[in-house]
Structure 1
Amino acid sequence: MRFWRTALKRRKRAVNLLEKFDEIFAKQRESVAITGNLGHITYRRLDEWTRAIGSELRRMGLGKNDVVSVETANKLEAIVLLLGIVRSGAAYCVIPADYPEHRRTLMRSKVGAKAVLGSAEFRRLTASGLAEEVLPEPAIREEDSLLYVIFTSGSTGEPKPVAIEDRSIRKIAGHAEFYAGTVMGQFAPLEFDASVYELFGGLLNGMTLRMVDKEESLDFDLLPAILAELDTAFLTTRLFNLYVDECPEALSRLELILTGGERGSADHLKRAARSSRVLHVYGPTETTVFATRYAVRGDETEIPIGQSFDGGRLLVLNEEGVPAVPGQPGELVIADSGLMRAYIGEPEANEKAILVIGGVRYYRTGDSVYEDRDGNLVYVERRDRQVKIAGYRVELGEIERCAQAYGLRRDCVAHYDGSRLILLITDDVEPEGLRSHLKSRLPHYMIPSVKYAAQVPMNGNGKTDAKALTAIREEAEAAADAGTDILGVVEKVLRSPVVPDKTFLDLGGDSIQAMEIIWELGGKGYELDLDLLFRCTLEEIVDHVQAS
């Protein structure tokens, strides 16, 4: 039984965050609280440092609902600072120190930051004896106290500051199913809401946080040793898929894996579930980290995102705004204990995001889901991933699922930037075979250009990097110049227009013309042989030549 649950059972009244931290610091005194390549500290030292920081902020007159910005490149310092802010009664907002000054100034302004703490303040406050002095009045934390502000990723527009209150942490830190063993991986950037699960959930359950920086998380020489230290970890969908593909044996040492953030791959989830307990979790920032969870069995054909775990209300609304029948997709709206206070200073965004039904506030997720026969929610697609191509509405996830049905074992992602549709794959497969499979199942306007990469590009939050995908598309356009050369030569030799999805022989070519094409393309630096020219469509030949 974890500490948080024990504390709740022991007391009839609600226990606030300050009391919870006091109790866990006293109980875990000499245990390691945080460790990693930046050093390690015990719960006793963490108690002393955060108390000193909290005391100084109280002297400055900061408290309930005041926001303090944390801006340091050192993650250990940032964790200590933000916990010190919590112990002062104020709220924190982590703003990456490597952001341009103009952007940081704008973010501070949006959240109304009353103070900024960085490395200099960390060194000064943790070296002082301020915590020993008597304060005129204690810090106050209540259920409706503002705890933190995190900016949304901006995938659907300009990033917005999400305000979360103390009451929302209980559903995460108090859910025993989310914790196993004694060591939790701390992978998430602190400006990303998964860090809330790691920091508050891990520490309030008496665990050791093992910090893993981005470089370590992608170093497959170091990673097996790091994973061997962990019992529990949350991994974003893309990072999870990468680990299942690249280091499955090391990943299997974890007792518990939580994963989510994007549409999950059933194959990857089932493979991991053979050796570890795997929870497929889902939740927008606006509902405090996780809103649903599903325990993967390993025999599913489709992996749901599951159900609410704290008695929340989940509705699936169709286009008319009424509950959809089971099996019918619609927009998921959520009312649970993690629902945000509001977007700070964004009245129009709040009006669009919050829906009131029967006097209850719901958050409109913008995600399409449906309810399966077991009452679990199955994630379909982000509504902003529904794109218009040639006048048709296309769900990019359908292209990915079709590609995976071909037998792909590794990660893939479809991307459309308004002009070109690509499918990025990480399996080493023949593109013409995959393209034939897609053509046999999808309409012509949904057939992507298939491109290969070592891995799907990820941004700092561990999610798909759309900008990097656009760059890949731009590289593909540059490579398309080679395609123009090749098709131009074929057209010139055949003296008739060419059709990309036809073979050279389909277009009436003969062996003499074939040799002429091979000779002329060789002079331009393109390697081609008779077998390829006779066997493949011109489109497949272009892809082959570009790849080689």
Structure 2
Amino acid sequence: MNLKEKINIIFNLYHEKTAILDESRTLTYRQLDELTRGVAAGLCSRGVGKGDVVAIECPERADSIVLMIGTIRAGAAYCVIPESYPDHRKEKMKLLVQAKVSLHTIAEAGGGEEAALPETERQPDSLLYIIFTSGSTGEPKAVAIEDRSIGKIVNEPSFYQGETMGQLAPLEFDASVYEIFGGLLNGMTLKLISKDDSLDCDTVPERFDGIDTLFLTTRLFNLYVDEAPELFRKVSLVLTGGERCSVHHLQEAARYCTVLHVYGPTETTVFATAHRVDGTELQMPIGKLFDQGAFMIVDGDNLAVPAGQQGELLIADSGVMRGYFGNTEASSRALLELDGRRFYRTGDTVYLDAEEEIIYVERKDRQVKISGYRIELGEVEKCAYSFGLQKDCLAHYDGQRLMLYVKDQVNLEQLRGHLRSRLPEYMVPTVKVVDIIPMNTNGKTDISEIINGNSMASNNRNEIMQVMTSVLKSEIAAEQTFLDLGGDSIKAMEIIWQLGSKGYQLDLDMLFSRTLGEIADNVSHG
């Protein structure tokens, strides 16, 4: 796909159709053509061209999209740097990608709406964009994607239905590539949805009115199924992925619209596999490659594992990145030549089912070691869902305790009994009921906020456990119950009275039905 020619064809074909729609304004394809030509002309006049990177630091999303397309028409690559980032981080990112120009507004680009489109050249291997992804060392890595890579996203017909695409993803997140370029290069209207609007479940059905196709991260998808299910009666097609899925949530939404469970690391350009949810799944596949290419499931020696066995997923399709910009060492670790193909190591553990669809098991880095045992956190979550949870849950190990956060208001004694009947003792978590499982700006689980919340609660927890120890007059462990330690009604009233004097509200039912760790985590204060 010649990207520059494709943009020109679409702009001419849909001249007066609405291209971008948000609360403050509407842009037709003709207006988008004029604005992006102006940006391209302005950038070229400043010496920007093939191989250069333009940093986009614009606070307005519609304007940022104009700057992104204008940069491409100038023959250069874009890198979106959120205005909200700390100055030190922004400067570090611009230095890493060797940004030639930084743009904060359309006017800053220059050129004007009447500018002629400059004579620039784009090839399949032209650098298209750079997106940062978190690195295991704590340093973000700059993923460099070429023109050829987005062809598989733009040209996949099952990814588009109707006339209007919802645009929710932050522009520094790779799902925005699907929304913006997939939507516009298929002649659709982009309806921009703000973060605040996307999280207000009371108004979501109204705000999303008129949208036919959209992508939702796993957490946001689950939230809408739980809190705004009427949304799925309004849309035609929903793509969802990004984290381990809930079979229940996917099948519930699929009763009302087409749901595609998609998968793909940033390094393979947005999506690499897809599965259409049909409601009969016992295990939810991430599907098959939809692009011409290959995949392998390998062991630690990079040898293919037998069918049905677990291993690391390697992907070789047209979306595989050029590499990590400015980091050849990280690139060589992530990219592997096998059988004449260039594979990306996903770091994801998967296996192939009887229908030859890929089943996602877990991130390799979500394996934790507790008391010498290696544990897949996803297995704990899967067991909890089998109890009948209807809402989100999340297993997390903080280095000391294995926790399970659940949103359902459930009988914790029954849930704990269910977990103990199916998991070995070292895998039975402490359960905590929460109102929300926090999301970061990309719509994925915000583990750091959970960890910070745990840290803030640790003083309260220690105080509660000290009271328990003093009354029961014995060493206690979080997984033990009050009755396990010989508690009786007199000791129960003493614990309730002492905690009450410190501002903690505990009743007999909680004291008798939960482990001491669960009491310490769930008892209310104030």
Common fold, TM-score beyond 0.5?
A: yes
Report the equivalent of 1:106. Answer: 92
Q: Which residue of 2 aligns with 1:209?
A: 190
Q: Give yes or no for the alignment of 1:131 onto 2:115.
A: yes
Partner of 1:231: 212
Contact 1:270 1:298 in 2 (8 A): yes
2:33 maps to 1:47 = yes
1:360 pairs, out of 332, 341, 344, with 341
* Residue identity in the other structure for 1:59: S
Question: What corresponds to 2:167 in structure 1?
Answer: 186
Instruction: Tell me the equivalent position of 2:62.
Output: 76
Match status 1:164 vs 2:142: no
- Give 2:251's match in structure 1, choosing from 250, 258, 270: 270
Shift of 1:252: 2.4
Instruction: Please give the secondary structure, in 2, of the residue aligned with 1:96.
Output: coil
Matched residues in 2 for 1:547 and 1:446: separation? Answer: 29
2:298 maps to: 317
Compute the displacement of 1:542 (Å): 4.3
C-alpha spacing 1:473/1:177, structure 2 compared with 1 (3 Å): same
Q: Cα–Cα, structure 1 residues 47 and 445, in superposed 2: closer, same or farther, change >3 Å?
A: same
Contact 2:504 2:525 in 1 (8 A): no
CA deviation profile, 1:64-96 (whole Å, cap 9, x unmatched): 111111111111111000100011111111111
1:24 to 3, 10, 21: 10
Q: Give the superposition deviation at 1:519.
A: 4.4
* Aligned partner (choices 287, 308, 311) of residue 330 of structure 1: 311
Secondary structure of the 1:228 match is coil
Q: What is the identity, as a one-letter code, of the residue corresponding to 1:321?
A: N
* Alpha carbons 1:420, 1:473 under 8 Å: kept: no
The answer for the alignment partner of 1:545 in structure 2 is 523
Of the candidates 364, 371, 376, which is equivalent to residue 390 of structure 1? 371
Contact 2:50–2:122 under 8 Å retained in 1: yes
The answer to whether the 8 A contact 2:381-2:395 is kept is yes
Q: Which residue in the other structure is 2:123 paired with?
A: 142
**Of 209, 216, 222, which residue of structure 2 is paired with 1:241?**
222
The equivalent of 2:394 in structure 1 is: 413
TM-score by length of 2: 0.95
Aligned mate of 2:268, from 272, 277, 287: 287
Distance 1:512 1:463 in 2: 47
Question: 2:369 is paired with a residue of what secondary structure?
Answer: strand
Q: CA RMSD in A?
A: 2.1
**3-state DSSP of counterpart to 1:259:** strand
Summarize the Cα distance change of 1:89–1:501 in structure 2 as closer, same or farther, 3 Å threshold: closer
Aligned to 2:45: 59
Mapped contact 1:490–1:498 kept (Cα < 8 A): no
Alignment partner for residue 439 of structure 2, among 453, 458, 464?
A: 458
Return the letter of the residue paired with 1:31.
K
Moved more, 223-232 or 279-288: 223-232
Distance 1:38 1:467 in 2: 34
3-state SS of 1:162 partner: strand
Describe the SS at the equivalent of 1:229.
coil
The offset of 1:165, in angstroms, is 0.7
Deviation at 1:330, TM superposition (A): 0.3
Q: What amino acid sits opposite 1:74 in the alignment?
A: E
Mean alpha-carbon deviation: is it higher for 426-435 or for 92-101? 426-435
Pairwise CA distance, 1:153: 3.1
Q: 1:166 to 1:529 in 2, by over 3 A?
A: closer
| Post-superposition CA distance 1:253-290 (Å, at most 9, x none) | 11000000111111100001111100000001111101
Distance 1:439 1:183, change over 3 A: same
Distance 2:90 2:123 in 1: 29
Residue 402 of structure 1: which of 364, 367, 383 is its match? 383
Seen in structure 2, the aligned counterparts of structure 1 residues 478 and 334 have a Cα distance that, compared at 3 Å, is same
**Does the 8 Å CA contact 1:55/1:130 hold for their aligned counterparts?**
no
**CA distance in 1 between partners of 2:178 and 2:517 (Å):** 48
* Matches of 2:16 and 2:85, distance apart in 1: 36
Give the deviation of 1:504 after TM superposition.
4.7
Match of 1:94 in 2: 80
Q: CA deviation at 1:324?
A: 1.1
Instruction: Report the AA paired with residue 434 of structure 1.
Output: L
In the aligned structure 2, how far is the partner of 1:53 from the partner of 1:297?
45
Shift of 1:536: 5.3
What is the Cα deviation at residue 537 of structure 1? 5.2
Unaligned runs of 5+ in 2: none
TM-score computed with the length of structure 1 as normaliser: 0.91
- Report the CA distance shift for 1:501/1:323 in structure 2 as closer, same or farther (over 3 A): closer
d(CA) in 1 for partners of 2:198 and 2:339?
A: 45
* Contact map agreement 1:38 1:76 (CA 8 A) in 2: no
For the pair shown, which has the larger CA radius of gyration, 1 or 2? 1
Mark the CA change 1:85 to 1:407 in structure 2 (over 3 Å): closer, same or farther: same
**Number of equivalences:** 526
CA contact (8 A) 2:166 2:214 kept: yes
Give the C-alpha shift of residue 299 in structure 1: 1.2
- Given residue 114 of structure 1, which amino acid in structure 2 is its aligned partner? K
The residue identity in structure 2 corresponding to 1:100 is: P
- Structure 1 distance, partners of 2:5, 2:62, is 23
In 1, distance between residues paired with 2:482 and 2:141?
54
Per the alignment, do residues 453 and 48 of structure 1 end up closer, same or farther by CA in structure 2, a change over 3 Å counting? same
- CA deviations 1:431-463 (Å, max 9, x no partner) are 232222222222233222222222211111111
Q: Percent identity?
A: 54
Cα separation, 2, equivalents of 1:205 and 1:339: 22
Distance across 1 between alignment mates of 2:487 and 2:6: 79
Choose 98-107 or 363-372, whichever is displaced more: 98-107
